[in-house]
Each structure stands twice: as structure tokens, then as C-alpha cells.
Structure 1
């Protein structure tokens, strides 16, 4: 498998905050030419088996996946895990612990919104939730668009649900070492997701990459839906500097919300080790 393989190793279903089922995602991925696919729902692996079956039915190779939220330098950073044993109880227990508190946080978010005249936000957000244990800001944002408070979700995050704005309630996520260990102990590879998205100083970013590698992390998303062409080059250089494999994933959430569709990313830059080469023995081949 080379770096021109159409691998899409980052997307979300209704099991977390996506809008499509794992089965519909698999059909869409294959229709867009994806050869190797992973479903990476937030802090949840409940859709992995459905995705695996759907991928095989579509003739796609498959890797188990998850995206874990961690707190680092007062910022929420995401770590993608690929190719782990999704029946390993350690990763399931870790994810259950980090999901805890989402419902309480959601109620506090709704209370803040009610204080600025937006009633019924908790119930409204629940309409968009496939898994109530994973209610998130994204679900509130969809409600605020439906209610006519904002025209689109990007406007929501400029006016609400972010630090200093109504509806923002921080959540204490897993720490970086725990997230990496959950993935690696279950036989997977840990990857820093979309690093350009984080509001980290240069020193903080260097610390993130350094600590991540010390904990056993092995990859970084270089080509992803939220990176610019210039950022592909920046993080290709970071991958080389830190000796990390490179990953590629659209971060697709739904047809009406995502800038990049499944399978529509450019190839990885040359001179990098594709993360799927590290996972060759964990890839489940197409049926």
C-alpha cells in the first residue's frame, strides 16, 4: 500500500456527532473511491462493528477507529486511535470514564442559553443526538440553526458555545498519556488529529508533539479536511522532525456541514511514512 491509496481515516457517524449512520457512511465512502476506511466517533467505539460489517459489504478495507478528547495546555486536543482491538476492555473503560459528565455539562449549557433568551436548548439538542451519552456542542449548534438563532453552525460558534460566549461550559477530558495508552495497550496506533486547529503557541505545540511521542504516540494527521495546503507542508515537516507516521482523513460529519467529503482529499506529501504501513497487520481486508 502506498501513499496514493485513497485512505480516509477520520469521520463521524450518528453514534457521536455525525449526521449519517455507519452504514450510509460506508456506502458514501466507497462511492467516492475510498479503499481503506475508519470510523472515528468521539470517545465512543459503539459504531465500530457496524462500520466493519458495512465496509466489508462495500468491498473496502477497514481499520477500527476512535477520536479521544484530551485536555492539554488549557486546550481540547483530539487523539485518533486506529487499528486497536475494539473488544479490549481497557479502551472501553477509559472511553466510558471520559464520556462521564457530558449530560450535566449539557444541562449547564442549556441554562446559560436560557439566560440570554434561548429556551428549550437541551431538549432541542437531544433531537439531534444519536447517542444521549455523547451530547455535545455540535448538537446544540444544530438546534440553534433550526431555531433560527443563527443561519449556520459556523455562526453559532462565533456567537455561542465558545469560551467567553453564552453556553460555554468546559469539560475536563482525559489526559494525553491516558488516551495514548488506551489506544496502544489495545494494539493500536495513536495519532494527533488536525494539529493546525489548536490554539497553541509554538512552544506548546512542540511540547504536545514531544509528550505525545514520549507516551508512545506514532502518527499525526497531515492531510485533513481542516488543513490548508500550506498546513499540509507544515505538518509534513513536523512528522519528519518527530519521526511520526502521516495520516489522512476528511473529518467528515455530514453532507451539509463538512468542507471536505469522504475520500476527496489529496494524497499525502512525498517522503512520509503512511500510518497504514504501521498498521498493515491490523487492516481488515475487503470481503
Structure 2
């Protein structure tokens, strides 16, 4: 398989913070011409069997996936795992431990929002949660839009849910070493998700890529719904510099919220090694 492949290896279902079921996502991906698909729910593999079965039903190739939350240099960074054994106790126990703090964090977020007059935010957010163990800022954002506090989720994050704002509560996630280890030790390949999104200095970003590679990480998202066209070029260069394979994914969450639909991104630059070439024996 070449880089000229409509692969979408980053999206989310109701099992984490998306609004569609794995089956609905598979149908949407197929309708948009996706040939190779992965469902990458946050810190959760509960939708993998459904996604794989739905992909097969639509004639798409499938890779297992998850997006793991990591703390690095004081920032939350996401590492996508692809092609791992989703039934592995190592992966499942690691993700369970990472999810563990979300409930307490959500209660703190609600308390912070109450200080600025937004009441019952925890109960409101729960209405949007498919999996209560994975309650997140996105669910709070949907509640604040529904209740008319903000016009869209982008406004919610800007005003209430980013660092220094009343509803922001940091969470201590897995380490970079942990996340890459869980992925690689269960037969998968680790990918830095949407690196253009992190607020790192040039030195911090270099450290992230260096440590990631040292721990056994092998890929980076180059073409993603979170990147500008200039960032496609920038992270293609980073992939070349660090000898990393390139991945492509929309980061699709919802038809109403996501800028980029499944399967609609440009292809990867032809001189980069696509992650799927390294995962040929893991494709279902």
C-alpha cells in the first residue's frame, strides 16, 4: 500500500468523546471513500470489536487503535497506538489506570464552573457521556452549548476549560514511556498525535520527539484535521529528521463539531513511509 491511500487512523466514538457509534463511524468513513480505518477512542479499547466488525461489513481494512493521554513537560500530549492486541491485559490495565482520575477531575471542574455561576455542570455533562469512566472536557463543553452559555464548543474551551479558566483542572496522565511501552509490547506502533496542537517551545518539541523515539515510538501524524497546511509541511520535515513513519487521520468527533470529516484529508507526501506499511501484518 502506498501513501496514495485514503487511510483515516484517528477518530472517536461514543465510547469516549465522539457522538457517533462505531457502526455509524464505519458507515460514514466508507461513504467518504476510506480504505483503511482505525477507531482511536481516548484511553479505551471497548469499541474495537464493534469497529472491526463494522469495517469488515463495509469492505474496509481495519487497524486497532487508541489515543492515550500522556503528561510531558507539563502538557497533555496524545499518543495514538495502532495495530496492537486490544485484548491484551497489559494494554487494558494501563488504560484503566489512566482513566481512573477522570471522575474526580470532572467533579473539580464542575465546582470551578459553579464559582462563576454555572450550576449542575457535572450532571449536565453526564447527559452527553456514553461511558461515565471517560467523562471529559468535551462533555462539559456540549452541556454549556446546550444550555446557552456559549454558542459553540470552541467558545467554551476558550472561556472556561483551558489553563487559567474557571473550569480547568489538570490531570496526571500516563508517562510517555508507559504509553509507548503498552503499545509496542502488545504488537502495535506508537504515533505522536497532532503535534502542531501542543504549546511547546522548539526545545520542548525536540525533546518530545527525541524521547518518543528513544522509548520505541515510530510514527507521527503529519496530515491531520488539527493541522494547517503549513503544519503538514513542518511535520513532514520532522518525520524525515527523526526517521519516523507518517500517519494520517481526521480526529473526527462529531458531524456538528469537527472541521474535518472522515476520509477528506490530502494524501501523505509521497517520500514519507506511511505507518500502514510497517503494520501490513496487523491490518484486519
SS at match of 2:230: helix
1:50 corresponds in structure 2 to: 50
Could you list the per-position Cα deviations for residues 206-250 of structure 1 after superposition, in whole angstroms to 9, with x for gaps in the alignment?
000000000000000000001111110100000000000000000
Could you list the per-position Cα deviations for residues 116-172 of structure 1 after superposition, in whole angstroms to 9, with x for gaps in the alignment?
101110000000000000000000000000010000000001100111101111100
Runs of 4+ in 1 over 3 A off after TM superposition: none
1:270 corresponds in structure 2 to: 270
> Is residue 4–residue 270 contact of structure 2 (8 Å, CA) maintained in 1?
no
1:207 corresponds in structure 2 to: 207
Offset at residue 88 of structure 1 (A): 0.9
**Given the alignment of the two structures, is residue 5 of structure 1 paired with residue 14 of structure 2, yes or no?**
no
SS at match of 1:281: helix
CA distance in 2, matches of 1:88, 1:140: 31
**Given the alignment of the two structures, is residue 173 of structure 1 paired with residue 185 of structure 2, yes or no?**
no
TM-score by structure 1 length? 0.98
SS at match of 1:259: coil
Name stretches of at least 5 consecutive residues in structure 1 with no aligned partner.
none
CA distance in 2, matches of 1:226, 1:169: 23
CA distance in 1, matches of 2:204, 2:269: 25
SS at match of 1:160: helix
2:125 corresponds in structure 1 to: 125
CA distance in 1, matches of 2:86, 2:22: 16
> Counterparts in 2 of 1:170-249, with a 5 A limit?
170-249=170-249
How many residues align? The count is 284
**Given the alignment of the two structures, is residue 59 of structure 1 paired with residue 59 of structure 2, yes or no?**
yes
> Counterparts in 2 of 1:272-287, with a 5 A limit?
272-284=272-284
> CA RMSD of the aligned region, Å?
0.4
Offset at residue 270 of structure 1 (A): 2.0
TM-score by structure 2 length? 1.00
Name stretches of at least 5 consecutive residues in structure 2 with no aligned partner.
none
2:140 corresponds in structure 1 to: 140
